[in-house]
């Protein structure tokens, strides 16, 4: 049996002190998530009302969770782009949005691209800088929606 690192006990103590599992903290977290969902939906719908075209960029599991939780479907996103050959030509789980190669974003030139792998936003924006040069803008959904 492996010895438990002292770091584990330090982290448990820190969690206990910050009361991250208290009902109050968990309820606040739930309220924050609902508020962020509302903000994102409102932003996307207002852009659609302006006849702006929006696509999703990248198709990680966390992005699919976001699409399903927010009920963002192909009425909001025209398609999702991806660099992985395994996902191209398929549909996103739940919302059934068609997955295109990243190159389509550069050829099609939609107005906005919702980054679904927000933890890699800088790398994605760097890889797709020609999209921005052509006038496209990125949307970061987390921690609160913003247009870049």
H-type helices in 50-113, by residue range? Answer: 61-70, 103-108
pLDDT surpassing 90 at residue 1: no
With beta carbons less than 8 A apart as the criterion, state whether 43 and 139 touch: yes
Distance CA 52, CA 91 (A): 22
Please name the fold of domain 23-147.
Rossmann fold (3.40.50)
Q: Rounded to 5 degrees, what angle do the CA atoms 42, 65, 121 make?
A: 75
Mind listing the pLDDT tens digit for each residue in 78-116?
999 999 999 999 999 999 999 999 999 999 999 999 999
Q: Return phi, psi of residue 44, to 5°.
A: -65, -40
Distance CA 96, CA 73 (A): 7
Q: What is the pTM of this model?
A: 0.89
């Amino acid at each position: 049996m492996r010895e438990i690192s002292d770091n584990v006990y330090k982290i448990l103590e820190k969690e206990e002190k910050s009361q991250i599992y208290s009902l109050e903290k968990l309820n606040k977290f739930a309220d924050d998530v609902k508020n962020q969902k509302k903000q994102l939906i409102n932003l996307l719908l207002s852009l659609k009302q302006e006849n702006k075209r929006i696509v999703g960029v990248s198709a990680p599991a966390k992005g699919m969770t976001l699409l399903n939780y927010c009920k963002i479907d192909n009425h909001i996103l025209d398609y999702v782009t991806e660099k992985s050959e395994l996902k191209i030509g398929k549909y996103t789980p739940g919302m059934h949005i068609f997955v295109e190669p990243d190159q389509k974003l550069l050829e099609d030139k939609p107005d906005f691209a919702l980054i679904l792998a927000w933890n890699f936003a800088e790398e994605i924006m760097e890889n797709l800088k020609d999209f921005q040069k052509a006038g496209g803008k990125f949307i970061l959904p987390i921690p609160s929606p913003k247009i870049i």
